[in-house]
Structure 1
Amino acid sequence: MKIIKYKESDIEEIVSLFYETIHSVNLKEYTQSELDAWAPRDEKKSKMKSWKESLRQNITYVAKINDKLVGFSDLTQNGHLDRLFVHKDYQGQGIATALVDILESEAKKLKLLEIDTEASITAKTFFEHRGYKVVCAQTVVRKGVKLNNFKMIKEI
């Protein structure tokens, strides 16, 4: 596995991975209607456009195995871990750990004191094992559908 900086040419694979992961891995903790609101397939093109810009502005890394994109994550300049997704066929292989390790290292270089994230029910345990603490449970509304997640913080 290689962890490398994001390039704009990765955007199509990133957005596809996001949709596939949400609609398969997160199916354990969220209903189909929640998943459809979280990752509506009809927004794929607009998401590629908006994410291309935000991923470029953030500190963004991708994980590749044999040139196949198998994960990605990004961190804002002020310490918000925005996205962390691993391909559905590559779960539990240390990819998320490797991505977050490098983002936490980048945060230290920026002299940030903490990282915050909004973790899905699915990702909560992963972040807890890494020392992130739940600040509060949250309910966000997407397309009129309520989704539960957790505001979490880690001091670094």
Structure 2
Amino acid sequence: MSIRKGNLQDLSEMLILFQDTITMVCKGDYNPNQIEAWKSGADNKERWLDVMKEQYILIAESENKMVGFCTLAQGNYIDLLFVHKDYQQHGIASQLYNMAEKEAVQQQQKFLTADVSITAKPFFESMGFKVIQEQIVNVKGIDLINYKMEKRL
């Protein structure tokens, strides 16, 4: 597996991975209506183009296939961190996260924050994040629970 910086040509594959991961990996923590509402975020082309233009993007690849990605916004916010359903528990999220944290440290950030799903919360805790608060996010009329988390660097 290799990790490289992302670019606009990665967007279509990122969107597929985003939706597939939510569908398959998060189904134990969210009901079908919540999954569909969350996945609909892929339809917000303007938001994703902003991600591609403004965020630090890392892409994990294995055998010329995208197996994960992570984005860092404003130098201290982990916006997106997704790993392909067939590559869970292989250390990919940890490697992506560690590279994003290294970038934040190089930018002299004092902390990292993230809004994370129920599914991702144990991973972020294992990386040293603490829950600041539980949140209810309304997406297209559907409530989803997530957590505002923070880590001091």
The residue aligned with 1:140 is 137
Aligned equivalents of 1:82 and 1:88: distance in 2?
Answer: 19
Runs of 4+ residues deviating >2 angstroms = 46-50
1:18 partnered with 2:15:
no
Secondary structure of 2:119's counterpart equals: helix
Deviation, structure 1 residue 35: 0.5
Aligned equivalents of 1:49 and 1:138: distance in 2?
Answer: 24
Secondary structure of 2:124's counterpart equals: helix
The residue aligned with 2:146 is 149
The residue aligned with 2:128 is 131
The residue aligned with 2:114 is 117
Aligned equivalents of 1:99 and 1:56: distance in 2?
Answer: 19
Aligned equivalents of 2:44 and 2:15: distance in 1?
Answer: 7
Answer whether contact 1:137 1:150 (CA < 8 A) is retained.
yes
For residues 38-92 of structure 1, the C-alpha deviation after alignment (integer angstroms, 9 at most, x for no partner) is 112xx64x43453133223111100000110000010112411100000001000
Q: What amino acid is the match of 1:100?
A: Y
1:9 partnered with 2:9:
yes
Deviation, structure 1 residue 154: 0.3
Secondary structure of 1:39's counterpart equals: helix
The residue aligned with 1:96 is 93
Structure 1, gaps ≥5 residues long: none
1:57 partnered with 2:49:
no
Secondary structure of 1:139's counterpart equals: strand
Structure 2, gaps ≥5 residues long: none
RMSD: 1.2
Alignment of 1:58-97 (within 5 A): 58-97=55-94
The residue aligned with 1:47 is 44
Aligned equivalents of 2:114 and 2:50: distance in 1?
Answer: 20
Answer whether contact 1:116 1:152 (CA < 8 A) is retained.
yes
| Matched residues, number | 153
TM-score norm. by structure 2 comes to 0.96
TM-score norm. by structure 1 comes to 0.94
